[in-house]
């Protein structure tokens, strides 16, 4: 298949497999999503979903509530997510910044989100996509890996992968598609479960591929 044919097949097959794309992180508004995505760095969504009810239930789920909490109290709860000191400090500080600079609201602005402590480009894009419906293509390790296996990018880095995927796929598909690729990567094309020669999409796109494909890390 040429690249345009691969793109069409991927869109069609992922839509068949995942017609619904619920956000994996439990949340109730842009702020709770922001905190959940921040906590998900180097942590599973399952673990984050176990921790956030305790965090929000005991300490509050608004910038006002979390800005008023001692960092140590936040850390005691979020510690199981890993990087506890950094994440706790970021949560307290970004909550205060939202109060001081954004009227206690999560801004619908990518640059403003990226300026918040603990919020990188991917986290900001997730919030823009899932809370505000702004077309975005957050690239995580699953997407970076699959984009290489499907020869949609050369995999130099996640920035290049994001740029290539945005160029290949219709903008209207981005917010749903990034979740569909994540779901597929977790279920069928994981780092250990497939090497580019095992799962359905890999074998359909590249039926002649015999050797395991080495993917570059993000």
How does pLDDT run across 119-130, given as a tens digit for each residue?
Answer: 999 999 999 999
Element (H, E) at 180: helix 174-187
Active site residues: 122, 140
How many Å apart are CA 33 and CA 131, to the nearest integer? 8
Give me the mean pLDDT over the 10-36 stretch: 98
pLDDT of 218 above 90: no
Count of residues in the chain: 218
The label of the residue with tokens 């800005």 reads 67
DSSP class of 214: P
Asked if 62 and 93 touch (Cβ cutoff 8 Å), the reply is: no
How many Å apart are CA 133 and CA 129, to the nearest integer? 5
pTM value?
Answer: 0.93
Give me the mean pLDDT over the 139-154 stretch: 96
pLDDT of 6 above 90: yes
Query: Where residue 217 falls among pLDDT bands split at 50, 70, 90?
Result: confident
Domains identified in the chain and CATH numbers:
30-132 (1.10.340.30), 137-205 (1.10.1670.10)
Q: Is 201 left (phi over 0), alpha (psi -120 to 50) or beta?
A: alpha
How many Å apart are CA 124 and CA 136, to the nearest integer? 9
- Look over the chain and give the mean of its residue pLDDT values, rounded to a whole number: 97
pLDDT of 39 above 80: yes
Give whole-number Cα distances, 80 to 42, 47, 168, 174, 189, in Å: 11, 8, 38, 31, 27
How does pLDDT run across 161-205, given as a tens digit for each residue?
Answer: 999 999 999 999 999 999 999 999 999 999 999 999 999 999 999
How does pLDDT run across 148-171, given as a tens digit for each residue?
Answer: 999 999 988 999 999 999 999 999
């Amino acid at each position: 298949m040429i690249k345009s044919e691969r793109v069409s097949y991927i869109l069609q097959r992922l839509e068949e497999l995942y017609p619904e794309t619920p956000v994996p992180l439990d949340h109730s508004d842009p702020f709770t999503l922001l905190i959940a995505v921040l906590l998900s760095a180097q942590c599973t969504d399952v673990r984050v979903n176990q921790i956030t009810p305790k965090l929000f239930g005991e300490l509050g789920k608004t910038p006002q509530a979390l800005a008023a909490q001692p960092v140590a109290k936040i850390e005691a709860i979020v510690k199981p997510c890993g990087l506890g000191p950094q994440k706790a400090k970021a949560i307290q500080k970004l909550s205060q910044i939202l109060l001081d600079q954004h009227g206690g609201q999560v801004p619908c602005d990518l640059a403003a989100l990226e300026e918040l402590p603990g919020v990188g480009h991917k986290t900001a894009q997730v919030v823009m996509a899932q809370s505000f419906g702004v077309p975005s293509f957050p690239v995580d390790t699953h997407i970076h890996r699959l984009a290489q296996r499907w020869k949609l990018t050369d995999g130099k880095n996640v920035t290049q992968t994001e740029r290539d995927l945005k160029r290949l796929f219709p903008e209207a598909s981005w917010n749903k598609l990034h979740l569909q690729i994540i779901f597929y990567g977790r279920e069928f094309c994981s780092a250990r479960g497939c090497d580019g020669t095992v799962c359905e999409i890999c074998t359909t796109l590249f039926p002649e591929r015999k050797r395991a494909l080495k993917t570059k890390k993000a």
